[in-house]
Chains A and B, each alone.
Chain A
Amino acid sequence: MKLIRAEKDQFTFGLNQRERELLFQILKMFPLIPPSHHQLSKTGKARPEDQRLLDEAVAEQRGENAKRVQAFLDEPGKFREIQNEIQFSLALAEIEWLLQVLNDVRVGAWLALGEPEEFALPKIEKNNARYFFAMEVSGHFQVELLAALGHDQSNYFGKS
């Protein structure tokens, strides 16, 4: 995937057929983070009613993003084939929710793999291969979207 042009808050990207299929497969995995994952306090000092409010807010926001994903996948004419390339446009707000969705899939896959350290990833096997796939592919699209916003990945040296 590459940025073709950016005009005001509209960004047009180009990708090939295989990349489009990968993007669709990744988006269909959303949401991947278990609902109980988000905690207000690490030390258990938040009140239960505040935790409940956070749970409700997270559930609502995930529901909204799930609807956005479905609309994105179903929107007729969103992806246009131009000279052997598939092009689609995103507004700035769409890039933000796409980043949220992609990172949900990436973090959710990492959690499913047992939260491994960067250099201690488990062996790829039949039962966990989809999570490796999800981590790598969602990361690829995140980098491309962030590059379109002016974030140069080469300035960094790894993961946070």
Chain B
Amino acid sequence: MPEIAVPLALPHVTPEKKTRSKSKLDSAWLVICWNDPVNLMVYVTHVFQIVFGWKREKAEFHMKQVHNLGKSVLARATMEKAEHYVHQLQKYALHATMEPEE
């Protein structure tokens, strides 16, 4: 059976323009809460529950990480979402930052 030649038509692909801001927006950021020994443990637990909608057990787990280890990664999110979380935590005067995931 003769082979039928199938024309090879590659789609025209325009090289994707990657901008710094686009790639930064898409990459993952870690929302970290750092230990400030002045904050009451009960307060930190409450804030985690409010900001992330967590149950008390999960909020306490992360609060204890902050207390015992000096920091806790609270979320892995896009840049925009991470900024939102950091601002919410800072509204409550917690020491929160966002760092790019290595």
Q: A residues within 8 Å of B by Cβ?
A: 33, 38-43, 45-47, 50, 53-54, 57-58, 61, 96, 99-100, 103-104, 106-108, 110, 115, 117-118, 135, 139, 142-143, 146, 149, 151-153, 155-160
Q: A153 CA to B40 CA in the complex, in Å?
A: 9
Counting chain A CB atoms within 10 Å of each CB, the highest count among B38, B41, B42, B44 belongs to B38
* A143 contacts B42, C-beta separation under 8 Å: yes
* B36 contacts A47, C-beta separation under 8 Å: no
Q: A118 CA to B83 CA in the complex, in Å?
A: 30
Q: Does chain A have a CB within 8 A of B74?
A: no
* A41 contacts B41, C-beta separation under 8 Å: no
Q: B residues within 8 Å of A by Cβ?
A: 21, 24, 32, 34-46, 50, 63, 66-67, 79, 83, 86-87, 90-94, 97-100
* B93 contacts A100, C-beta separation under 8 Å: yes
* B97 contacts A142, C-beta separation under 8 Å: no
User: Separation in Å of the A136 CB from the closest CB of chain B?
Assistant: 11
User: Separation in Å of the B47 CB from the closest CB of chain A?
Assistant: 8
* B35 contacts A54, C-beta separation under 8 Å: no
Contact of A159 among B40, B46, B87, B94 (CB under 8 A): B40
Q: A144 CA to B66 CA in the complex, in Å?
A: 23
Q: A7 CA to B72 CA in the complex, in Å?
A: 35
User: Separation in Å of the B66 CB from the closest CB of chain A?
Assistant: 5
